[in-house]
A and B are shown apart, each in its own frame.
Chain A
Amino acid sequence: MTRPGRIAAALFSSALIVVIACGGRADERAEPSSPAPFEATGIITFGSVSLNPASEHEVFRPFVDHVASRLREVGIGRGRVVVVDSISKMVEELNEGRIDVYIDSPFPVGFVWKRTEIDLLLRRWKRGSETYRSVVFVRADSGVNSVADLAGKMIAFGEPFSTSGFLMPKAALASTGLMLDNYEDAAASIPPDRVGYVFSNDAENTMFWVLKGKVDAGAVNEDYYQALAGSRVSELKIILTTEAVPRNLVCVRRSLDPRVTDALKDLLLGMDEDEEGQGVLKGFEETARFDPWPGGPERQLAGIMDLIQYVEEDVGQ
């Protein structure tokens, strides 16, 4: 097992669950079968995956409070944020009904969607964009002209949980038939029929590592590529651009009261229409708006589900 793998295993074993309630008792839950009218005593619980639960909570808290305060008509009195440290834990929490709403990138969502009863509700325009893509790039003078030339080379990805920095480019490369192995040392020797990869843990690291020749290739969010390359963009060459995927997705537990689900959907769709809602969205990782899935959620998710098979093990960690 590689070093990141051991760390991930340790984290999984600890199965840290951080529950930060916005007031009220943890066992208070919205009863899905409660007759109307709903008493404003219920709690709606938002879930997220992060190894930094405190900062994650700070990101979600204003948004969740705002949402909860506008769901009184369906019996919601308070909102709660549950941060878990792994996708598997998220699946468990959703299956147990302890998390009502789950917001994440397409690959984690696809992983969860396959393993529990959730419905894809809306698309989230995180950081102002509705979709994003990844690029795989090399030095222009590296002699690598296509992804096939990456055999026997070392590529740098960003963070292990990053969709654009790791999961999406790795899946795209793997879908071409390349076999990728994780290394800790960027200078490790790679067999000619394999592609080695290391985590730089930062897109800027990835860019410099490629520019300085520490690795042969790198993968970053297409949105950041130009800025990171800056004046040295001419020294680089993109050899792969992935398909665009939704930037972020909002899912709800299927067993959640439909009235709550509908009320939540209506609320999120109209949140960017008033000034207070815009302010809350801006504080929520500069979310521009929420909108429905063009063509329906299943269609959009189908492409992701095709790729996720290549990184299912990585997502599950």
Chain B
Amino acid sequence: MRIGLRGRFIAFVSAIVIAFGVVLTALAVRVQNDLLRHELDERGKLLIAVVATHVTDSLALLDVRQLRQLINETREQENVLDAVVFDEDGRVLTDGTIKNPLRHLLIDDAARQHVAVSDALLVEFSGDVMTVTKGVRLGGRLIGGVRLRYSRAGLAKDQAVLARKTALVGIVFGVLGVLAAALLTEAVTRPLKEVIDATRAISEGKQAPHLQVRTADEVGELAAAFNEMTRRLRETTVSRDYVDRVLETMGECLVVTRRNGTITLVNNAVCGLAGASEEELVGRHCGELFRAPKGYASLLHALNPEGSVHGLETELLSSTGEEFPVMVSIAEMDESPGRSGRYVIVAADISERLRTERQKEEFITMIHHEVRTPLTAVRGAIGLLDGGVAGDLGERGRELVANALRNSKRMERLVNDILVSRKLDFGHMTFHLEEMELMPLVDQAIEATASYGDQHEVRFDLDETAPGARIEVDPDRFIQVLTNVLSNAVRFSSAGDVVKVRVNRHDGYLRVAVADRGPGIPEKFRDQVFEPFARADEADWRNKSGTGLGMSISKAIIEELGGAISFDTEVGGGTTFRVDIPESDKLRESHVD
């Protein structure tokens, strides 16, 4: 049986109290016994002195009848064994009885000699018997004496009574001692119990109470240390309730499993999506909740060596047979020593996103088939009209056809940009990479945009080149990027301006910088330059913007080619776009060599 601190403390203090009580009681009994013995002896001495006084007259008159009565009364006194009165010769006159068997017998010589010369008591001890002898004198003459045998065995009875009383007192003190021990223990262990209760409250996720520091001793220090610990704990941790609330309100599904995949915790989002209660899900294997991602035997087989995975698409399997597409991230959760690790699986329902993307896909398909194809036919017909297939249209007719042709081209560019943009978004764009020199591509782009510059009376100035520099790109898409950047510079330049083009190396990249002297990009719009359909609010910008897709397409293409696009701008000071593209390593290495 386990005895707690409280029990041990009570037992310890009680043992001390009881031991103290036993020793004290023993000492008290001994002292009381001595006192009793002394008192008994004194009582015996006093008694014989009284008897001696009372028998004096009867001795003088030799009234044995009266002496017999007095001694008889004396014999009835407590602890008196027998008593005799003797004459001056030491012969017994009476022993207090009618038969008086001691009559005429002589008392012992020592007693006779003592009473002959002394008035003092002669006290003799033999075992538990005290014999006291006293001579009786009248007018200085010895007329006899009294001899009394007094039992100290009667002491045993008194001692027994005394022992019982003392034992009773001892028991009372023992009980009081145990009670005192219990109270003392309560006083000592109560703070400890408060600490235990508070610790248990923490372990159960409850708020720990603030302990009162009642004393300045070790227990008080313990309470103070506990309060400090809980204070720091509150600062560094969140309560389980708080965590539970977060888990229950978060939209994503959260599943905690053991290393073997057994589910130990799910939140409401999981239950809602899986159509099962927490009780039904906990204990099942996560493989029953998540389909194995493509290329993996199970969800947990997709973990990387670090024990985590991010952005993994799979399906969550509901109890009704439905499958919900989810994006899963898994992280290993460290546990305290001695406990096995766990996995935290966070799954986001991506059904809506996929549906949206599908709708966009359908929209693009619709644009491609229902807009671009008819538009191509329209532009071809207008082109034929503009080429005079239908004869002379007259001045007014030619103007209308030219206008229609211009707008149809514009619409065609817009539709093409949209299609390209969507292809880039969905990764459907096909790149035909080739290793080639950069400068010819730059020249082609300038040449392709030169006519557009001429229309705006803007010319290009290639004042720095990188001869022999090679890159690995899809030349058409790369030229598309450069053309977009160059035409953009033309669009925001004033008539007569020169757009400078520089090609150089920068941090391992080949950089093509196109600088105009236009109005610069408004500060509020700078973050949106590469966003699709981004157009500044300013009137100049709205008039000069294209489809709003050019820069976002350019950024997507150049990033697919491993490069980057950026700009420097100054309102009123012009803008410089920089296209960085990795230089071909093989070529660069040979160049270095």
- Partner-B contacts on A (CB < 8 A): 200-202, 204-205, 208-209, 212, 214, 227-228, 230-232
Q: Which residues of A contact B64 (CB under 8 A)?
A: 202, 204-205, 208
Residue B228, interface by CB 8 Å: no
- With A208-B93, A212-B87 known to touch, is A202 a contact of B65 (CB < 8 Å)? yes
Q: Which residues of B contact A208 (CB under 8 A)?
A: 62, 64, 93
Task: Give complex CA distance A16, B103 in Å.
Answer: 38
Residue B94, interface by CB 8 Å: yes
Q: Which of A205, A227, A230 contacts B63 (CB 8 A)?
A: A205
CB pair A232–B65 under 8 Å, yes or no, is no
> Can you list 9 pairs linking A and B with CB atoms under 8 Å apart?
A202-B65, A204-B68, A204-B94, A204-B103, A205-B63, A208-B64, A227-B99, A230-B103, A231-B104
Residue B100, interface by CB 8 Å: yes
Task: Give complex CA distance A214, B94 in Å.
Answer: 17
Task: Give complex CA distance A242, B68 in Å.
Answer: 29
Q: Which of A201, A205, A209, A228 contacts B103 (CB 8 A)?
A: A228
CB pair B65–A205 under 8 Å, yes or no, is yes
Q: Which residues of A contact B68 (CB under 8 A)?
A: 204
CB pair B65–A209 under 8 Å, yes or no, is no
Q: Which residues of A contact B105 (CB under 8 A)?
A: 231
CB pair B104–A214 under 8 Å, yes or no, is no
CB pair B62–A212 under 8 Å, yes or no, is yes
Q: Which residues of B contact A204 (CB under 8 A)?
A: 64-65, 68, 94, 100, 103
Q: Which residues of B contact A209 (CB under 8 A)?
A: 62
Q: Which of A201, A212, A228 contacts B65 (CB 8 A)?
A: A201
Main secondary structure of the interface of A (DSSP, over half): helix
CB pair A232–B62 under 8 Å, yes or no, is no
Q: State the Cβ distance, A244 to closest chain B Cβ, in Å.
A: 24
Q: Which residues of B contact A212 (CB under 8 A)?
A: 62, 87
Task: Give complex CA distance A205, B100 in Å.
Answer: 13
Choose among B63, B104, B105 the residue with the greatest number of A CB atoms under 10 Å from its CB.
B104
Q: State the Cβ distance, B98 to closest chain A Cβ, in Å.
A: 9
CB pair B62–A214 under 8 Å, yes or no, is yes
Q: State the Cβ distance, A141 to closest chain B Cβ, in Å.
A: 16
Q: State the Cβ distance, A17 to closest chain B Cβ, in Å.
A: 28
* Count of chain B residues with a beta carbon within 8 Å of a chain A beta carbon: 13
- Taken residue by residue from 62 to 105, chain B's Cβ proximity to chain A (1 for < 8 Å, 0 otherwise) reads as 11110010000000000000000001000001100001100111
Task: Give complex CA distance A228, B103 in Å.
Answer: 8
Pick the 8 closest A-B CB pairs, nearest first. A202-B65, A204-B64, A230-B104, A205-B64, A232-B104, A230-B103, A231-B104, A208-B64
Task: Give complex CA distance A209, B58 in Å.
Answer: 13
Task: Give complex CA distance A201, B94 in Å.
Answer: 16
Choose among A205, A209, A212 the residue with the greatest number of B CB atoms under 10 Å from its CB.
A205
- When C-beta atoms are compared, the residue in chain B nearest to A231 turns out to be B104
Q: State the Cβ distance, A160 to closest chain B Cβ, in Å.
A: 14
Task: Give complex CA distance A221, B100 in Å.
Answer: 17
Task: Give complex CA distance A212, B94 in Å.
Answer: 14
Q: State the Cβ distance, B119 to closest chain A Cβ, in Å.
A: 23
Task: Give complex CA distance A208, B99 in Å.
Answer: 15
Q: Which of B62, B87, B99, B104 contacts A205 (CB 8 A)?
A: B62
Task: Give complex CA distance A231, B101 in Å.
Answer: 11
Task: Give complex CA distance A151, B104 in Å.
Answer: 29
Q: State the Cβ distance, A228 to closest chain B Cβ, in Å.
A: 7
Q: State the Cβ distance, B55 to closest chain A Cβ, in Å.
A: 14
Q: Which residues of A contact B63 (CB under 8 A)?
A: 202, 205
Q: State the Cβ distance, A203 to closest chain B Cβ, in Å.
A: 9
- Taken residue by residue from 442 to 477, chain B's Cβ proximity to chain A (1 for < 8 Å, 0 otherwise) reads as 000000000000000000000000000000000000
Q: Which residues of B contact A227 (CB under 8 A)?
A: 99
Task: Give complex CA distance A123, B62 in Å.
Answer: 37
Task: Give complex CA distance A1, B318 in Å.
Answer: 146
- When C-beta atoms are compared, the residue in chain A nearest to B92 turns out to be A230
Task: Give complex CA distance A84, B568 in Å.
Answer: 161
Q: Which residues of A contact B100 (CB under 8 A)?
A: 204
Task: Give complex CA distance A204, B100 in Å.
Answer: 10
Q: Which residues of B contact A200 (CB under 8 A)?
A: 65
Task: Give complex CA distance A209, B93 in Å.
Answer: 11
- When C-beta atoms are compared, the residue in chain A nearest to B65 turns out to be A202
Q: Which residues of B contact A231 (CB under 8 A)?
A: 104-105
Task: Give complex CA distance A212, B93 in Å.
Answer: 11
Contacts beyond the supplied A205-B64, A209-B62, A212-B62: 20 A-B pairs with Cβ under 8 Å: A200-B65, A201-B65, A202-B64, A202-B65, A204-B64, A204-B94, A204-B100, A204-B103, A205-B62, A205-B63, A205-B65, A208-B62, A212-B87, A214-B62, A227-B99, A228-B103, A230-B104, A231-B104, A231-B105, A232-B104
Q: State the Cβ distance, A1 to closest chain B Cβ, in Å.
A: 23
- When C-beta atoms are compared, the residue in chain B nearest to A229 turns out to be B104
Interface residues of B in 40-67 (CB under 8 A from A): 62-65
Q: State the Cβ distance, A186 to closest chain B Cβ, in Å.
A: 9
Q: Which residues of A contact B87 (CB under 8 A)?
A: 212
Task: Give complex CA distance A200, B62 in Å.
Answer: 10
Q: Which residues of B contact A230 (CB under 8 A)?
A: 103-104
Q: Which residues of A contact B99 (CB under 8 A)?
A: 227
Q: Which residues of B contact A232 (CB under 8 A)?
A: 104
Choose among A200, A204, A209 the residue with the greatest number of B CB atoms under 10 Å from its CB.
A204
Task: Give complex CA distance A212, B68 in Å.
Answer: 17
- When C-beta atoms are compared, the residue in chain B nearest to A203 turns out to be B65
Q: State the Cβ distance, A48 to closest chain B Cβ, in Å.
A: 22
Task: Give complex CA distance A200, B63 in Å.
Answer: 8
- When C-beta atoms are compared, the residue in chain B nearest to A201 turns out to be B65
- When C-beta atoms are compared, the residue in chain A nearest to B87 turns out to be A212
Choose among B65, B87, B99 the residue with the greatest number of A CB atoms under 10 Å from its CB.
B65
Choose among B63, B100, B105 the residue with the greatest number of A CB atoms under 10 Å from its CB.
B63
Choose among B63, B64, B105 the residue with the greatest number of A CB atoms under 10 Å from its CB.
B64
Q: State the Cβ distance, A4 to closest chain B Cβ, in Å.
A: 16
Q: State the Cβ distance, B23 to closest chain A Cβ, in Å.
A: 57
Q: State the Cβ distance, B101 to closest chain A Cβ, in Å.
A: 9
- When C-beta atoms are compared, the residue in chain A nearest to B63 turns out to be A205
Q: Which residues of A contact B62 (CB under 8 A)?
A: 205, 208-209, 212, 214
Q: Which residues of A contact B104 (CB under 8 A)?
A: 230-232
Task: Give complex CA distance A232, B93 in Å.
Answer: 12
Q: State the Cβ distance, B253 to closest chain A Cβ, in Å.
A: 114
Task: Give complex CA distance A258, B526 in Å.
Answer: 168
Interface residues of B in 110-142 (CB under 8 A from A): none
Q: State the Cβ distance, A3 to closest chain B Cβ, in Å.
A: 15
Q: Which residues of B contact A214 (CB under 8 A)?
A: 62
Task: Give complex CA distance A214, B63 in Å.
Answer: 11
Choose among B87, B100, B103, B105 the residue with the greatest number of A CB atoms under 10 Å from its CB.
B103
Q: Which residues of A contact B103 (CB under 8 A)?
A: 204, 228, 230
Q: State the Cβ distance, B337 to closest chain A Cβ, in Å.
A: 101
Task: Give complex CA distance A231, B94 in Å.
Answer: 14
Q: State the Cβ distance, B7 to closest chain A Cβ, in Å.
A: 70
Q: State the Cβ distance, A154 to closest chain B Cβ, in Å.
A: 14
Task: Give complex CA distance A208, B63 in Å.
Answer: 9
Q: State the Cβ distance, A180 to closest chain B Cβ, in Å.
A: 22
Q: State the Cβ distance, B482 to closest chain A Cβ, in Å.
A: 158
Q: Which residues of B contact A202 (CB under 8 A)?
A: 63-65
Task: Give complex CA distance A189, B362 in Å.
Answer: 174
- When C-beta atoms are compared, the residue in chain B nearest to A206 turns out to be B64
Q: State the Cβ distance, B97 to closest chain A Cβ, in Å.
A: 11
Q: Which residues of B contact A228 (CB under 8 A)?
A: 103
Q: State the Cβ distance, B248 to closest chain A Cβ, in Å.
A: 106
Q: State the Cβ distance, A8 to closest chain B Cβ, in Å.
A: 20
Task: Give complex CA distance A231, B100 in Å.
Answer: 13
Task: Give complex CA distance A231, B104 in Å.
Answer: 7
Task: Give complex CA distance A232, B103 in Å.
Answer: 10
Task: Give complex CA distance A212, B87 in Å.
Answer: 10
- When C-beta atoms are compared, the residue in chain A nearest to B101 turns out to be A230
- When C-beta atoms are compared, the residue in chain A nearest to B88 turns out to be A212
Task: Give complex CA distance A228, B99 in Å.
Answer: 9
Task: Give complex CA distance A212, B91 in Å.
Answer: 11
Task: Give complex CA distance A202, B103 in Å.
Answer: 15
Q: Which residues of A contact B94 (CB under 8 A)?
A: 204
Task: Give complex CA distance A212, B143 in Å.
Answer: 12
